[in-house]
Structure 1
Amino acid sequence: MTLYTERGQGSAIEDFLAEHAQVLSIAGFFLVCILFFATMTDTFLTGGNILNLLRQAAPILIVASAMTFVITTAGIDLSVGSQVALVNALAAIAIAAGIPWPLVILMMLAAGAMIGLAQGWFIAHQEIPAFIVTLAGLSIFRGIALLLTKGYSIPIRDADGFTFLGRGAVAGIPIPAILSVLVAIIAYVVLDRMRYGRQVVAVGANREAARRVGMPARWVTASVYGLTGLASAFAGLLIAARLGSGSSNAAVGFELDVIAAVVLGGTSLMGGRGTIIGTVLGTLTIAAIGNGLILMHVSPFFTQIVTGAIILAAIWLNTRIFASGLRLGRKKS
């Protein structure tokens, strides 16, 4: 005769810690960074610097929110920085040609989505690895931007409404920061609360199993690259509006900051697990590190070394903590 017993109910606190280990760890690391830079500099926590940090972090957060979907499907998009530069240059050229700036915004957003979907088609339907497709895109889109601008910056004049999007503020809060938070909220709702988000997670966890149960796995895979294309166009427009010019040299290395923010926040590079809250914290951490090191008058040549080392250490610790959380959850079951 076999006796069955119910599984013992674990502590609610332990369950919470096990489930949210990585997000909690990056939140703790972010607070440590804030305290460190606040102690080392007198200006880090001033209102002006915080608003400046939020304004500069906004484009990264916008694209990182979309990149969370891509990495959750076990993909990668290395072309986002080049897409930002291309839209940045195209927007300046279009406005300089006399096209009304509201129409330019719509055109650029549509172009960004189409570029992303085109890459997604090669990845999902032609089954070319995302790394290869987007690496090619990184070179192609930056090259087109260079060809169009010949390496020069294109000034944006007589478009006060457009530049207000990048330089303006509402109740003292920079408009780019407000827009980036709205994007992050939408991304959170879609990924955590909507059917499409569940499909993204399922495709990342096991694409073939998702296809066999009737999910449009190829469409989902292609669509997430459309999201990064749309987000990159949005970020490119905000950068052009803030700087008042378009340049093919915009957003150099941008894709690395975006990917680092997403992975630092706890989204798995292997797919099947993504968190927008973690991405927000990862983005703020990346921005705080860069801003704080500058305020400490650290050499810009050394800043990249320090930033890279901190990111590597944080992600390593994140992985260890998450693994411990999983082991804790298994022991209770």
Structure 2
Amino acid sequence: MTIPVQAAASSSRLRPRTLKDRFLANGSVGSIALFFLFVVALFSLTTEDFLSLDNVLNVLRQSAPLLIVATAMTLVITTGGIDLSVGSVLALTSALCAILIHAGLPWALVMVLMLLVGALVGAIQGFFVAYEGIPSFIVTLAGLSVIRGLALLMTGGYSVPIPSDIAFVGLGRAWILGMPLPALIAAAVLLVGFVTFNETPFGRYVTGIGANAEAVRRAGVNTRGVTLLVYVLSGSLAALAGLVLAARLGSGSSNAGQGFELDVIAAVVLGGTSLFGGRGTMVGTILGALTVAAIGNGLILAHLSPFLTPIVTGSIILVAIWMNFRIFRGAGRKR
């Protein structure tokens, strides 16, 4: 990627960064940070327990699957793709995990198998996207339906209980140093995702593919392999989220994760990752995910109708897409 880097360096020397350039580089993170503070202030004033320690820890524990999957979704969307199947993968691994544990398999082995199942699903979808050239929207939309159907077929639509006396349930219920274990798992995943995305060649390749895949390919990068790996990571982390959810609820259900993919996409796009690819931010993703979780929790504490949550989430997605198109896409055309 020598040529693009040199070009960017030359451009920066020829033209000093203006205030508008700085806004385009960091404005999305700043705006979601302000919006997050607004949401927190709003619900802290309109509800009694929103900022209580118990509720804050509960939000962190419940939002762990969202934070985990949003890490991978940031990579996917930065490449210019999308993964609509993450909710179905979560449901499949949650249900299959409960079935295998109920059948007597060691829970540690089951966890490894579920991560492999998620990776396999991601590899299959990534193959069609990267090597067959089928749009990721079509591939993962089909995956959403097929994978959810497999989960329903295996469970018959019923929840499968997980024994509460095995160590596996600690994955979703344990506490370490006063913090819920799911939140610590999510923090570890986000830290690895942040370092990978910002400090490694792989992260730069992901961004380059979204910005100009042909230029990256001509620089000698295996763009197909990178794209495939991004979807493998997405499937694997969706499977991890399914394990955490199953452990917390003490059961696996084929109905888990309904609409989950919308929450993940809302979190990532709201955080400033461009739907057109080429620009992503892990910090923004964290703030976006916490904002989505805070809105859902705040609406419940405010005793409003639960049907308002998808309405608000959908509105957030629409506004985020509009901002992406009007501000960042327009700026890219001018440059």
TM surpasses 0.5: yes
Say whether 1:152 aligns with 2:158: yes
Deviations 1:179-207, CA, capped at 9 Å, x for gaps: 00110110010011001001111111111
AA of the residue aligned to 1:240: A
Say whether 1:109 aligns with 2:145: no
- Identify if the C-alpha distance between structure 1 residues 226 and 8 changes in structure 2 by more than 3 Å, giving closer, same or farther: closer
- 1:250-289, aligned counterparts within 5 Å? 250-289=256-295
Cα distance in 2 for residues equivalent to 1:121 and 1:311: 28
SS of residue matched to 2:267: helix
The offset of 1:320, in angstroms, is 5.7
Deviations 1:43-66, CA, capped at 9 Å, x for gaps: 100011111111111101100100
Cα distance in 2 for residues equivalent to 1:133 and 1:323: 25
Contact 1:87 1:236 survives alignment (8 Å): yes
AA of the residue aligned to 1:170: I
- 1:294 corresponds to: 300
The runs of 5 or more residues in structure 2 that have no matched partner are 1-12
- 1:120 corresponds to: 126
The runs of 5 or more residues in structure 1 that have no matched partner are 1-5
Contact 1:33 1:288 survives alignment (8 Å): yes
Say whether 1:20 aligns with 2:26: yes
Contact 1:25 1:318 survives alignment (8 Å): no
- If the length of structure 2 is used for normalisation, what is the TM-score? 0.90
Cα distance in 1 for residues equivalent to 2:149 and 2:71: 26
Deviations 1:82-131, CA, capped at 9 Å, x for gaps: 00000001100110111111111111111111110111011111111111
Say whether 1:220 aligns with 2:226: yes
The offset of 1:208, in angstroms, is 1.5
AA of the residue aligned to 2:39: C
Q: Which moved more, 1:315-324 or 1:151-160?
A: 315-324
The offset of 1:160, in angstroms, is 2.5
SS of residue matched to 1:77: coil
- 1:312 corresponds to: 318
Deviations 1:11-67, CA, capped at 9 Å, x for gaps: 8x8765452111001001000000010011111000111111111111011001001
Structure 1: 4+ residue segments shifted above 3 A: 6-11, 13-18, 310-324
- Identify if the C-alpha distance between structure 1 residues 114 and 310 changes in structure 2 by more than 3 Å, giving closer, same or farther: closer
SS of residue matched to 1:20: helix
The offset of 1:321, in angstroms, is 6.2
Percent of paired sites with the same residue:
57
Deviations 1:299-319, CA, capped at 9 Å, x for gaps: 112332234334534554576
- 2:4 corresponds to: none
Contact 1:168 1:174 survives alignment (8 Å): yes
Instruction: Report the structure number with the largest CA radius of gyration.
Output: 1
Say whether 1:165 aligns with 2:168: no
Coordinate RMSD, CA, aligned: 2.1
The offset of 1:253, in angstroms, is 0.4
- 2:10 corresponds to: none
Contact 1:25 1:321 survives alignment (8 Å): no
AA of the residue aligned to 2:275: L
Cα distance in 2 for residues equivalent to 1:38 and 1:321: 31
Q: 2:187 aligns with which of 181, 205, 213?
A: 181
- 1:87 corresponds to: 93
- 1:131 corresponds to: 137
Cα distance in 1 for residues equivalent to 2:16 and 2:265: 38
The offset of 1:161, in angstroms, is 1.1
Deviations 1:231-261, CA, capped at 9 Å, x for gaps: 0000000000000001100010000101111
SS of residue matched to 1:206: helix
- 1:65 corresponds to: 71
Cα distance in 2 for residues equivalent to 1:162 and 1:109: 15
Cα distance in 2 for residues equivalent to 1:185 and 1:155: 32
Cα distance in 2 for residues equivalent to 1:7 and 1:188: 30
